[in-house]
Amino acid sequence: MNTLSPTRPRKPVIALASLSAVCALALSACGTTGTEASAEDGNSESTSEACADDSSTTSADPVSVKDDTGHQIKLDKPASTVVSLEWQYTEDLLSLCVDPAAVADAKGFTTWDTAEKLPENTTDVGTRQEPNVESILSANPDLVIIETTSRDDKIVGQLEDQGIPVMAMTGADGKDPVAYMKDTFSTVAEVTGRGERADTVLAEFDAKVEESKKALESADLDTKEFVYFDGWVNGSNVALRPFGQGSLFGELGEELGLKNVWTGEVDPAYGLGQTDIEGISKVGDANFFYTGTDDPESEDYVELLEKNDIWSNIPAVKDDRTFAFPSGIWTFGGPKSSEQALDAYVEALTK
């Protein structure tokens, strides 16, 4: 998706025919950074401390885990030398106190996913779209985790030809994105023998949901309706991507008692739509949550929005109810990224 900007990562998610314009742009990854502040490093620091003091056990029992393609992963013992080819699984491993042996796009992870801190000496095996197989094999992994919807994926075949077990995960499920996020985390925990640690992390996430929900219950909100979106500059125009029903960030907002009112067409896996300034203006009085870009190499779509008369007359804009999420919150991450998102919702609506 380098046609959006050379540094702006996005996910291969848009499948609907009416979203074909975005499809051409969305073949490499998704996610943006916010415009007001960097995401706090509290999660990564607390996880680092938790891992330093971690007393949870690692199972030594044989592993038999089914991945999202239905393939059974059978190991004599839990995987300990793991290569992650997608940021979500890199984050999940770190949350489980498992330092990955190698990852795809280490620099990108450090920039776009601040929920966990990647050790500086972690081997980088190339891009998430085209990782270097030789680099992966050099890490001598006992497991590689990849995001793909098919085991016919070229990388899967190349690794399995070399006897490397590959766990293929689809990355999202629009039917219940929060449950899928948690299930994925639990699957990564199971294959690495870190079930006890996973129980702790998921309990912390559930507690954060309840804490955040109570915080908003006591808040005097003008409306509970919202739309979450990101965007980019496409030529001289602004393209916007709403996170509709089936999106992780949209569902996290609804977990807090808010109502996601984006009703436009979205892809079935990630719940992502496509619109422009005029389209986003039709959502009524809803609050706006968004991520922009603080990347000096990318044109800031928010600046263009603010120069547009249609944007200026949207109720949320006139009433100062537009809220930029902090940068570095990965919109397709695991429990710790999701906790960051919950904090951002609460901070925006209660400050």
CATH class of the domain comprising 42-206: alpha beta
- Nearest CA-CA partner of 243 in 351, 341, 115: 341
pLDDT tens digits along 229-260: 999 998 889 999 999 999 999 999 999 999 99
**Which of 227-236, 253-262, 289-298, 323-332 shows the lowest per-residue confidence on average (mean pLDDT)?**
289-298
Handedness of CA 250, 251, 252, 254 (dihedral sign): positive
Q: In this predicted structure, what is the pLDDT of residue 38?
A: 56
**Identity of residue 121:** N
Distance, CA of 252 to CA of 170 (rounded, Å): 20
H helices of 53-153, where?
A: 87-95, 106-112, 133-138
Distance, CA of 194 to CA of 199 (rounded, Å): 9
Confidence of residue 7 (pLDDT cuts 50, 70, 90): very low
Contact 126, 132 (CB under 8 A): yes
Domain 17-37+221-350 fold = Rossmann fold (3.40.50)
**Identity of residue 8:** R
CB proximity list for 242: less than 8 A, separation 6 or greater? 227, 228, 229, 262, 264, 266, 272, 273, 274, 275, 280
Confidence of residue 82 (pLDDT cuts 50, 70, 90): very high
Please say if the pLDDT value at position 191 is more than 60: yes
In angstroms, what is the C-alpha Rg of the chain? Answer: 20
Q: In this predicted structure, what is the pLDDT of residue 349?
A: 97
Please say if the pLDDT value at position 73 is more than 90: yes
Distance, CA of 323 to CA of 290 (rounded, Å): 6
CA distances from 54 to 47, 188, 340 (A): 10, 18, 22
Confidence of residue 327 (pLDDT cuts 50, 70, 90): confident
Domain residue extents for the chain: 17-37+221-350, 42-206
Residue of higher predicted confidence among 325 and 50: 325
Q: The pTM is what?
A: 0.89
User: Is 17-37+221-350's fold the same as 42-206's?
Assistant: yes
Please say if the pLDDT value at position 41 is more than 60: no
Element spanning 306, H or E: helix 301-306
